[in-house]
Amino acid sequence: MSDAPGIPPGASLVPSAAQAALLSAPSVPSATSAASAATGPISVHRRVGSSSLRVFPIALSGASFGWTADERATTSILDRFLELGGDFIDTADSYAGGRSEIMIGNWMRRRGARDRLTIATKVGKSADNPGLSARSVTAAVTASLSRLGVEAIDLLYLHVDDPTVPFDETLAAVDGLIRAGKVRHFGGSHHIADRLVAARIASGQLGFASMVALQNQYHLLHRDEVEGALGLVAAQLDLGIMPRFALAAGFLAGRYRTRADLEGSARGATASRYLNRRGLRVLSAVDRVADDLGTHPAAVSLAWLLSRPRVVAPVVGVSAPEQLDAVMAAPSLGLGRHELTELDRASA
């Protein structure tokens, strides 16, 4: 995407306090927004930014569906997620070449579950419709609707930031899809702070729908990005944050503790980057908190994320349905000041 109209190339777009006031009204936490530290269990169901969407605060990732999880495993995982109260499913048109969307769509149809779910998908990375030109976005959404078997996508993410396409072209395409009832709300993924501000300014100037959500990497071992300028802009623009790679490819769930644990794992290469002194220090702190509270490391790692400002629902993938028990326990796990301080210090 190119710079928004009227914005000099290369100029900083991170707003000052006065500029931010012009971009959006002050963000007011809803009754289901994140609880402050040491206030007990985190309340269930949260509003996605400024949208009308309210979701259970764990999003089930469909990244493994059609890749490491076959039809039977995918069905078991989705069934267990629904049984435990989950209602927010996250996928992308590029996951397993579209097979993830197909599997989710088939399962929804068999279970008659569409009306109970919020479906998020992403466009911009598929081989068939790459990038964010108007043609690509429109074709990608049409294909995703068909694979999912739905009339509308609840939350559409722009999976890339495409500098080759003018902002107004992409925003006009998305706005047209929203007006046509094919998309309800949209957000960004892998976007930096300046680009989010540029998108809001362009949307305001052109009268288009604005982003309501942001999906970027965020977890105990990757904090600087979201806790810096990106988080400031998300707050000013009232964007809900959906942390992706929320468990650091399984490392923060305690799955990988030695080099031997990495062998034979599809995510071993990604997790290996955390198997170092800092990573093991953080995991040790997670283990201590989990032991003190009688819970699983995955629940602690996700509960920490859910205590952070603007976080709505970490995006979490599992390889087996039984792993969901610990994941889905996170929203009801109250971390006190002592636990939060220990985790903050270990991961600083």
For the annotated catalytic residues, the residue numbers are 95
Measure the CA–CA gap between 241 and 313, rounded to whole angstroms: 7
Measure the CA–CA gap between 33 and 36, rounded to whole angstroms: 9
Contact 164, 128 (CB under 8 A): no
For tokens 């400024």, name the residue: 50
For tokens 């680009």, name the residue: 195
Contact 220, 282 (CB under 8 A): yes
Q: Residue 61 has which token pair?
A: 């990732």
| Sign of the CA dihedral running 324, 329, 331, 335 | negative
The CB-based long-range contact list for 284-289 (8 Å cut-off, 24+ gap) reads 284/346, 285/342, 285/343, 285/345, 285/346, 285/347, 286/220, 286/252, 286/254, 286/343, 286/346, 287/254, 288/342, 289/335, 289/339, 289/342, 289/343
Q: Residue 136 has which token pair?
A: 């690509």
